């Protein structure tokens, strides 16, 4: 069994303009990192764009059409104050969601043990009918919904260790008994959601807010004391990771003080849960991370652990 690595050059064509933190150099840095010999065993795939039917699993079709129609042919546009789009943004967003769909298929069908989707724009802030926080479509939510619709899985889980709360994923999972969402995130911080009392209709949401200045011990306690026990009780049949690396101590957009070892550690802990309940079936997707050196080192440790689990 192998680790699949999904990426597409269209994701580099999503141009957010000068000085925007969610820039193409983030993905290019990751691609350069994974050109190294230690990642030669990665099984690399170029995904196809998600179909309208795939996106409609989580976003209403008229809204999807409206977003795609709002993509400018030249220059830049804004879907909100932070979410900049250009002529390549629509294809990039569809390809990002398509990577999740294909990764789910590969892992569910036993073609790969796990997968990492190195794509942009990120997705976890996108709500059903709202693009925000650099996100157009909620790729991880589309992937989770596809796992249930196409592969008959009853229980899927997303664990989000991005430093920002994934308000979009939470909103989409809120009323869904078979969908579980857990998040560790700086609080208070953008987008303002993610308090402990936000638990979902079926007690299927677990938020562990971290105060500014928190570090490794706080983060690891949050995972061990809150997230893992809730995951064990839920017994996911496939586990997704919203892998944001912006809780790193060098990241400019937040003030949580994690290091690369923490991202390797949380990956191992979640892989343990997946082995116990889900036959090791894991799909991970890039979310945030805005210091390029920290992003490269942290994503390398994360994918390295996925590869070890696939051996």
Omega before residue 191 within 30° of 0, cis = yes
For residues 191 and 261, what is the distance between their CA atoms, to the nearest angstrom? 27
For residues 106 and 170, what is the distance between their CA atoms, to the nearest angstrom? 25
Q: How far is CA 168 from CA 58, 133, 150, 173, 224, in A?
A: 10, 10, 22, 9, 24
Q: CA torsion angle for 236, 230, 5, 105 (degrees, to 10)?
A: 20
Place of tokens 């196409």: 150
Structure tokens belonging to residue 255: 């003030």
Q: Which positions are annotated as active-site residues?
A: 125
Cβ-Cβ contacts under 8 Å for 253 (sequence gap 6 or more): 21, 163, 164, 246, 288, 290
Closest of 120, 192, 205 to residue 159, by C-alpha: 205
């Amino acid at each position: 069994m192998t680790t699949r690595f999904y990426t597409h050059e269209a994701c580099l064509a999503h141009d957010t303009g000068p000085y925007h933190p969610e820039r193409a150099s983030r993905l290019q840095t990751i691609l350069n990192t994974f050109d190294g010999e230690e990642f030669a065993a990665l099984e690399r795939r170029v995904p196809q764009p998600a179909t309208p039917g795939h996106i409609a699993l989580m976003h209403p079709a008229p809204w999807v059409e409206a977003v795609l129609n709002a993509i400018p042919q030249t220059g830049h546009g804004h879907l909100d104050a932070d979410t900049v789009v250009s002529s390549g943004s629509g294809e990039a967003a569809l390809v990002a969601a398509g990577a999740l769909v294909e990764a789910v298929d590969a892992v569910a069908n036993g073609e790969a043990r796990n997968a990492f989707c190195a794509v942009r724009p990120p997705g976890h802030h996108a709500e059903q009918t709202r693009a925000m926080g650099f996100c157009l479509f909620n790729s991880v939510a589309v992937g989770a919904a596809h796992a249930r619709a196409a592969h008959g899985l009853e229980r899927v889980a997303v664990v989000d260790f991005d430093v920002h709360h994934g308000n979009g994923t939470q909103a989409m999972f809120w009323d869904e008994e078979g969908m579980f969402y857990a998040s560790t995130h700086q609080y208070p911080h953008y987008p303002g959601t993610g308090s402990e009392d936000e638990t979902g209709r079926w007690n299927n949401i677990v938020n562990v807010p971290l105060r500014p200045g928190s570090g490794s011990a706080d983060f690891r306690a949050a995972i061990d004391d809150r997230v893992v026990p809730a995951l064990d009780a839920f017994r996911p049949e496939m586990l997704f990771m919203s892998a944001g690396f912006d809780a790193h101590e060098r990241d400019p957009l937040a003030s949580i003080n994690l290091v690369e070892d923490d991202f390797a550690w949380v990956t191992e802990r979640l892989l343990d849960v997946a082995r116990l309940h889900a036959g090791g079936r894991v799909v991970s997707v890039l979310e945030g991370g805005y210091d390029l050196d920290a992003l490269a080192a942290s994503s390398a440790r994360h994918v390295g652990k996925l590869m070890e689990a696939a051996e």
